[in-house]
Structure 1
Amino acid sequence: MHAKLLTQEKKLHDAQARVFKSIDGDNWTSGDDSTVRADIEKLHSRMKSWAKVHALDAMTEMGELGPEDLVDFIMAVSQVAGAVNDSALHTLESFKSPRANKKSPAILLQALLAHNLYRDIVGRPFFAIDQQVNGANWELFQTLLRINEKEAHAWRSKMLRVLNTPLAENEVGKAAIDAFANHRRTICYHYAHSLYSSPMKHLLKPTATREEAEEVFKSLELIVQSAGELSGRLWSRKTSLSTQGLTELKDTPFKAGSKMLKAHALHKLYDEEDDRCDGFAVRVVVHPAVLGYGSSDGDDYKTARVWMKAEVLLVEPTGGKSGEEVEDDGILV
Structure 2
Amino acid sequence: MQGDRAVTVIDSVLSQQPGPRLRAACAEAFGLVDKSNVVSRLGKLYGDEDPMVRAAAFSELVRIDSTNLDYYIKTSLNDPDFVPVVLAVDKIGEDTLRQYLPVLRTEISRGADIDVDIRRSIVDATRPFLKANTHDTAALEILIAGMLDDSYIVRREAAEIYRDLLGENRFNMVPPAKTRLNERRIARAIERYRRNPYATIITERGEIELELFFDVAPLTVLNFIELAESGFYDGLPFHRVVPDFVVQGGDPRGDGWGGPPYFIRCEYSDEPYLRGTVGIATSGKDTGGSQFFITLSPQPHLEARYTVFGQVLEGMEVADRLLPGDRIEQILIRENHQ
- With normalisation by structure 1, the TM-score equals 0.22
Max Rg structure: 1
TM-score, normalising length: structure 2: 0.22
Structure number with the higher helix fraction is 1
